[in-house]
Amino acid sequence: MNKQKEKNVKRNRRKMRIRKKLAGTAEQPRLTAFRSLRQMYAQIIDDETGVTLIAVSSSKLGDKTKNNGNVEAAKQVGQELGRKALEVGIRQVRFDRNGYKYHGRIRAMAEAAREVGLVF
């Protein structure tokens, strides 16, 4: 098995361990993050109804020519997600790091969302 496939298998195992214990409700939806090499994505999901309430990506926010997969772009995604959530009336969420380590872009996105006013 090549290195990238092995990394994905390990991340999916961590993801499933987390998701067994973590589910979003109407009162506390789940904030999930996904990072690719070029973009950063974040969603707020109500797992009881299976509906995505808010979705933000770095490709929709910034200039297409800039690098949207860096820490600065992750901060922008977190700030925009926090603003949209507060507009809708969502204050508390449960954070799902989606199997990624809590550092780098995932941490930058989470801290930016906290600075705007989301609680998790």
The pLDDT tens digits of the residues spanning 42-89 come to 999 999 999 999 999 998 887 655 777 799 999 999 999 999 999 999
Domain around 87: 3-116
List Cβ<8 Å contacts ≥24 apart for 20-23: 22/94, 22/96, 23/47, 23/48, 23/94
* 29: pLDDT strictly greater than 80: yes
CB 76 within 8 A of CB 59: no
Structure confidence at residue 69 (pLDDT): 79
Structure confidence at residue 60 (pLDDT): 87
Structure confidence at residue 64 (pLDDT): 59
Please give the mean pLDDT across all residues of the chain.
92
Total domain count for the chain?
1
* 94: pLDDT strictly greater than 90: yes
| pTM exceeds 0.95 | no
Instruction: Say what angle helices 105-116 and 71-88 make with each other, to 10 degrees.
Output: 30
CB 59 within 8 A of CB 48: no
CB 102 within 8 A of CB 71: no
Based on its alpha-carbon atoms, the radius of gyration of the chain, rounded to whole angstroms, reads 14
**What are the structure tokens assigned to 13, written together?**
């195992």
Which CATH number does the domain housing residue 32 bear?
3.30.420.100
